[in-house]
Structure 1
Amino acid sequence: MSQNQDLFSSLLDDTTTNLDVMAKGPVDVASRLAELEKEQEAISKIDDDQERLKRETILTSKLETLRQTIQSDEKDMAKAVYGMKVLIDGMDKEFQSLVEDSDEEKKLVAEAGQAFEEAKNGLEQAKEYKGFLGLGFGKEGKMREAEQMMKDAENRMEASRRQAESMKRERLMSADIEHTLNIIQVMGQKTIDIMTERTSSIRTQLESIKARKERAFEIKNEASSRATKLVEIVEQLESEVQNEELAIDSFETGTAEHTGQLAKVSKLRSNLLEERGKLKVVQAVLDEKTKSIQEHESHQEAQQKLLSNHQMWIATLKSKLQEDLVKDQSYLEMLKAAADQEIAQNVDTMTDEKNARQMENVAKIIVAS
């Protein structure tokens, strides 16, 4: 097996492996994001700062793993498509080199062409022949001889052309290129089918990511409005607590008024703590949704890019299959169809030439008589 065949076989195996992996479908980004978003929501509710920080670090690692998985998936798909493109280009190049006339075929046609030119020059010289003392003696014989040589040269040219085409066809057929073309054609179509299915899946995921991002924006806006109101409430309570605390000293210790003021301040402080707790929760939701939106935007951009790449790859492979392989396969079909037809034509031509020679001989006999 030649080095080219080894490389071709290796590339064929690698591409087949990549296609088998790709056939499982793209990474389910939408589902993974939904799971991580729930985890993020749970983390935002943890009061212990140390525990929350530890969980956030783990979540960040999971998000990074998801990004790497997506990138790896895209690289595998790109390798499969690139492998198919190289196979198609290589196959077409190999086919074109086989279609080109070989040195032997070129030599065969060239020698016949040279003989034709020599016969043509010989005929011109015969036409210009003046004979002894310019009286034209012997010219008729030279003309007949030159015309016969011209006819023989034309026949040789046609026979050489047919032989060269026959040699080329035999070379193409013996190369077993048709089987390889069919393999690549099937693999190319399989690649397109897989990418078409993946495109549909990616488009569905993209819509899901967009919807979740829009919902995250809605929740963030609601939380933002709620936070604004809570900030106002907290600031108002803080002011009231401060004023009422100052008022405590205006009452005599131990009196009912003093005790009532202390109770009032205690209640205000309790309300303040409650509203601060609400504000903390809302701010946690804001932070969580801000991070969620950023992640969704990042993955939406990545999925949109992946979708565009799939569409571009599909168009590229379709074009390659149509322009290169289909053209090569059509050429092979033409060669097959021409094989029997050419044999029949050669028989007809030989019969016609035989009949023509017989008629010529009859004519010569009639003239001689």
Structure 2
Amino acid sequence: MPDVPQQLRPINPGGTGTESEPAETADVDFDGTALQQEITADVAVLPASAADTGEAEFDDGEVYPVTEISYESSRYNQSALLVTKILADRYPEQDEIVMARINGTPIGSGRVDVSAPNDEGLVVIDSYDSVRKLKQGTVTASFDDAPLDTVITTVCAFADVAPARVDVDEDASTFTAYEGRSCAGVLDDMANRVRGAWYVDPSTPGGLPVFTDGSNFAVTQHEIEHILPDTDPGLQTAPYDGVVVIGGGEATGASRVYSASKDPVRAVAGDTGSGARVYEHEDKSITNVETAQQTAHSLLDEFERQSGTGQIKLVGDERIQPLDTVIMPDSLGGQEYLVSEVTHELSSDSGFVTTVQVGALIDGAVDAEGDVRGPGTPTP
């Protein structure tokens, strides 16, 4: 690339950690008036090896000024897309690491998929977090009473991903076998069995996964103040009343990951009687009743959490991430919702806006008919 003016060069080309200058004040239309926000935003580019251990930090990279950021992430283990437009003197190469932050808070990171110039002379970068590699990688292995943390680390290694953190009971273990199942799918299975979760830490290079069981799981709570128009999370009913889990044959013998019984293990949770809406989950890797029961209860819990869904658009809040919770203003019911998906968008046209898809009512009020009120529903 030809020589360019100094303002297009990296703020810290040697990784010195110099912060970017604050962006100009951005306006967001709020209740018919312009709400002013002073935003600081920048992007760091690091070598692909930065994701090998997850120990590299934002200021270890080349930090560039940024004109636009769009980051979409989901609690449903979909690969998060980070799109940035930066003022740079080079095109980041495929698999290099991009990290974005707003007001000093990391909002997302990923490996470069495509970088190219646009007609404004900016470099546009599309990057994806580690979920993409975890969905592409597959597992063929058996685990016979293996420690759960070892299983998680091994599964991630099949996708050439290093987990950022594994928080599970040190005594937890599992019997299971897989042949060609996606790494992300195995992590889903393990999370169901321990009533836990796995997600991406946006502050790690490349967006590395965190796995936690129910005992270690904690969320960050946010009280919402400035909600933009057209917000209506609405009111939903849990999609299923009960769950039936059907596994493989019950495992016995020295290597219990191989079935010795022809009859599949079976477990139920919730209402599975006549007329009930029942979800049937079949997983041949489940080879004992205890694991089947844990999976059934975990799936039922998830369906019950999905009783609150809808979209909230608010004045930008870079702190909100999937699996956090948001508390609505008292004027809109005051309920607490789990964040399913979040999109942070920063541009000169619209300022900084955060769109939150809520997918679980944590603590809702009940109206006179016994229905849970969602945000935006008038108080009786």
Higher strand share: 2
- TM over 0.5, shorter chain: no
TM-score class, shorter-chain normalisation, is under 0.3
**Could you say which structure has the higher helix fraction?**
1
TM-score by length of 1: 0.19
The higher-RCO structure (CA 8 Å, 6+ apart) is 1
Taking structure 2 as the reference length, the TM-score comes to 0.18
Larger Cα-atom Rg: 1
